Structure 1
């Protein structure tokens, strides 16, 4: 059986812009719309800008997925605020075949983001949606607000919480 290390997966991945470029015109159009909805309070922006450790975000997901369009756009914002952050995107099939065994899971939710330190140690994972959204008993109750970007700050806070595990 062929295997890949997390570092090898990161190396074969594409950047955010390339992954977005693989989408349809309407999928690509959602990225700037979602980006414009990212409204981070000053203390969150300061925490992101002031983060002094290198972080690598290995994303398994694809542009057609609305959760990807929302939550990975938040990561794009992180990389713009701090040059210590890097994103690499692998396909869902590559994630299923190679990343799931590394994470010790049999099934992934997409997008799955493995948050890694500079040495590619896994600090934690972000799965599909922010914790506050996953905690809602009936997703249909908040679905419209979620897709309108009302939970993007929650995604940012989840990423920061994982990143803060870096030594």
Structure 2
């Protein structure tokens, strides 16, 4: 069986723009809409702009997935605020085939986002949606707010919490 390590997966991944470009017209149209809903508070912007360690985000997901559209857009904003942040996107298929064995899991929800240090060590994992959304007993109650970007800030805080594990 062919195996790939995290660094190899990262290197074969595509850019955010390439991944988005593979979507339908309506899927692509959601990206600027989601982006416009990202409203980071000033202290978060300062934290991100002044972050001095290199962080790589390996995203396994697909443009047709609303969770991917929302959470990868948050990471795109991170990469625009600081050159120490980089993102690479692989397909769900590669995630299942190569990332699951690395993590020692049989199943996880997508997008699956690995937050990596500059040596491609895993600092933490973001699975599908921010934890605050996972903790809601009935997703239907908040579904519309979630898809309208109400929880983008929660995703951002979660990414920062994971990044802060970097040495």
TM-score by length of 1: 0.99
Q: Provide the rounded CA distance (Å) in 2 between the counterparts of 1:132 and 1:92.
A: 23
1:4-27 deviations in whole A, cap 9, x for unaligned? 000000000000000000000000
| Structure 2: 5+ residue stretches without partners | none
| Structure 1: 5+ residue stretches without partners | none
Aligned length: 167
Mapping of 1:40-59 within 5 angstroms? 40-59=40-59
- Does residue 150 (structure 1) correspond to residue 133 (structure 2)? The answer is no
Q: Provide the rounded CA distance (Å) in 1 between the counterparts of 2:140 and 2:41.
A: 27
Mapping of 1:113-132 within 5 angstroms? 113-132=113-132
**Counterpart residue number, 1:63:** 63
Q: Provide the rounded CA distance (Å) in 2 between the counterparts of 1:60 and 1:151.
A: 20
Q: Provide the rounded CA distance (Å) in 2 between the counterparts of 1:147 and 1:105.
A: 28
What SS class does the counterpart of residue 96 from structure 1 fall into? Answer: helix
Q: Provide the rounded CA distance (Å) in 1 between the counterparts of 2:104 and 2:58.
A: 16
1:140-166 deviations in whole A, cap 9, x for unaligned? 000000000000000000000000000
What SS class does the counterpart of residue 79 from structure 2 fall into? Answer: helix
TM-score by length of 2: 0.99
1:56-81 deviations in whole A, cap 9, x for unaligned? 00000010000000010000000000
Give the deviation of 1:139 after TM superposition.
0.3
What SS class does the counterpart of residue 86 from structure 2 fall into? Answer: strand
What SS class does the counterpart of residue 80 from structure 2 fall into? Answer: helix
- Does residue 22 (structure 1) correspond to residue 28 (structure 2)? The answer is no
Following TM superposition, the consecutive aligned residue runs of length 4 or more in structure 1 with deviations greater than 6 angstroms are none
What SS class does the counterpart of residue 101 from structure 2 fall into? Answer: helix
1:82-114 deviations in whole A, cap 9, x for unaligned? 000010000000000001111121112110000
What SS class does the counterpart of residue 57 from structure 2 fall into? Answer: strand
Q: Provide the rounded CA distance (Å) in 1 between the counterparts of 2:40 and 2:6.
A: 30
Q: Provide the rounded CA distance (Å) in 2 between the counterparts of 1:30 and 1:132.
A: 23
